[in-house]
Amino acid sequence: MEGDFGIFVQQTVNAISLGGTYALLALGLAIIFSIMGMINFAHGELMTITGYTLMYCGLSGIPFYIAAPLAVMVAVGSAVLMERIAFRPVRGGSAASMLVTSFAVAIILQTLFQNLISTRSQAVILPDVFAQSVHFFGLSIGVNQILSITLTVTILIALNWFLRKTILGMAMRAAAEDFSVARLMGVRANAVIAGAFAISGALAGAAGVLWVAQRASVDPLMGFVPVLKAFIAAILGGLGSLTGAVAGGFALGFIEIYLAAYLPDNIQPYKEALALGAVIALLLVRPNGLIPAVTIGREKV
């Protein structure tokens, strides 16, 4: 298959792949927000930690198929520690104090990466197969993107199953809706919040692996832009709504990729502005997001 349609399919694959990464990140933000009422801006640093774990694993000759799950586990551990050390003491505080705390955590981690590792971008050794493409029906799709889409879909299905079919998942949905009553059901506040951070850490870790697999490098500020995008995606989807976060992530991925692919060259410099303009236009039509959370305005922990 050649020509316009071929390019369109290619760009659609790119959009699903990028949108999927945004969706994973936005979902991580949304899970924490739905339960604690906090936007965790240090979420991006979990991605960066994942990236550095991949880098060090590559340098020590650990194969990628071991390094990737290991890096995700490091992100999970870091997320749980982050909650225990930084966020638990301010739990129940104002939204502003929790927000500022998350900014502080993000900046402290960025500074540590800069001083202890390097201020520069570092190369990450990836398996050769990632750079290859698969050809079918005359299309060529990167192995990278196939893996990325497969992984994203698998994670979304697994998370959906966990939240709907397990008692712990139901407890998390209940806690997101009404924390006090969830406690009346015997839901332990510390356990459910630690669980939420573990899941958000796993999502950030998976997104980090996908991000690094596309770029083969890691730098101290790597997490900032994708998490900012994920935040926009979460707002677009409906802040605190998990389905909304996924929808918002994919929507933003599609907007960005299609603009980059189809805008005339002389307008390309404005593509970010146009993408955000499109988000604002969508929010004007649906102020609570594409799929609003059921708990808007309700009291959080």
Partner 1 sequence: MNALLQVDGLCVHYGAVEAVRGVDFSINEGEIVALLGANGAGKSSTLNAMVGLVPRSSGSVVFAGKDIAGKPTESIVRHGMTLTPEGRRVFGSLTTEENLLLGSLPLDNPAIDRSRNLERMYQLFPILSERRNQISGTLSGGQQQMLAIARSLMSSPRLLLLDEPSLGLAPQIVDTIFEQIVELRNAGITILLVEQNVAMSLDVADRGYIMASGTVVTQGTSKELSSSSVVEQAYLGHE
Q: Which residues bind partner 1 (CB under 8 A)?
A: 167, 170-171, 173-174, 177-178, 180-189, 294
Q: Which is nearer to partner 1, 76 or 187 (CB)?
A: 187
Q: Which DSSP string corresponds to 194-250?
A: HHHHHHHHHHHHHHHHHHHHHHSEE-TTTTHHHHHHHHHHHHHH-TT-HHHHHHHHH
CB closer to partner 1 out of 164 and 286: 164
The two tokens of residue 221 are 């500020």
The phi and psi torsions of 142 (rounded to 5 degrees) equal -65, 140
Cβ proximity to partner 1, 192 vs 232, nearer residue:
192
Nearer to partner 1, 117 or 170 (CB): 170
Residue with tokens 């992100």: 75
Q: How far is the CB of 100 from partner 1 (least distance, A)?
A: 24
In the complex, what is the shortest distance from the CB of residue 266 to partner 1, in angstroms, rounded to a whole number? 47
Q: Which residue's CB is nearer to partner 1, number 120 or number 165?
A: 165
The DSSP result for 4-65, as a single string, is HHHHHHHHHHHHHHHHHHHHHHHHHHHHHHHHHS---TTHHHHHHHHHHHHHHHHHTT--HH
CB of 26 to partner 1, least distance (A): 19
Q: How far apart are CB 84 and partner 1 at their closest, in Å?
A: 17
Q: Which two tokens stand for residue 112?
A: 């540590």
Distance between CA atoms of residues 80 and 78, nearest Å: 5
**Residue keyed to tokens 């060259």:** 265
How near is the Cβ of 178 to partner 1 at its closest, in Å?
Answer: 6
By three-state DSSP, how is residue 139 classified? strand
| 12 versus 243: smaller Cβ distance to partner 1 | 243
Instruction: Name the minimum Å distance from CB 187 to partner 1.
Output: 6
